[in-house]
Amino acid sequence: MCIFCKIVAKEIPGDIVFESIDVLAFNDLTPQAPTHVLIIPKWHHESAAELAAMAPTTLAELFTVADQIAKERELDGYRLAFNTGESAGQSVFHAHLHLLGGRPFAWPPG
């Protein structure tokens, strides 16, 4: 079982900020911004593309939840990211949407 599946199963603790039938959101262990939440499908999918193909409604919910959390925290803007593949920085192969906010972000990203 992957590390995020273990957090879903509550086998290892996660600092959970939101939970629905299909989606879980928890604070990143190594936050890169004042708000750094990972929003994931509870069912294991390796990538955003696989999630889009297999469960498009759940993919849409990830974005809705991100916006909901941003509104609750009154973020004036936020960045969303799916890293796909090792060269793009993906280290956990369970699809997850990064929600980053609470500081300015540069463009282009590093």
- Count the residues of the shown chain that bind ligand 5GP, applying the rule CB under 6 A: 12
26 alpha-carbon distance from chain centroid = 8
94 binding Zn ion? (CB under 5 A) = yes
Contact status: 52 vs ligand 5GP (CB under 6 A): no
Of the two residues 8 and 75, which places its CB atom closer to ligand 5GP in the complex? Answer: 8
Number of neighbours of residue 75 by Cβ within 10 angstroms: 19
Q: Which of 20, 53, 92, 105 binds ligand 5GP (CB under 6 A)?
A: 92
Least distance between ligand 5GP and beta carbon 55 (Å): 19
Say if strands 35-41 and 16-19 run parallel, antiparallel, or are unpaired.
unpaired
Q: Which residues pair with 23 in a beta bridge?
A: 41
Q: Decide if residue 36 touches Zn ion (CB under 5 A).
A: no
Q: The tokens of 56 are what? A: 């498009």
| Residue 3 phi, psi dihedral angles, 5° rounding | -60, -40
Taking the complex as a whole, the smallest distance from the CB of residue 20 to ligand 5GP amounts, in Å, to 18
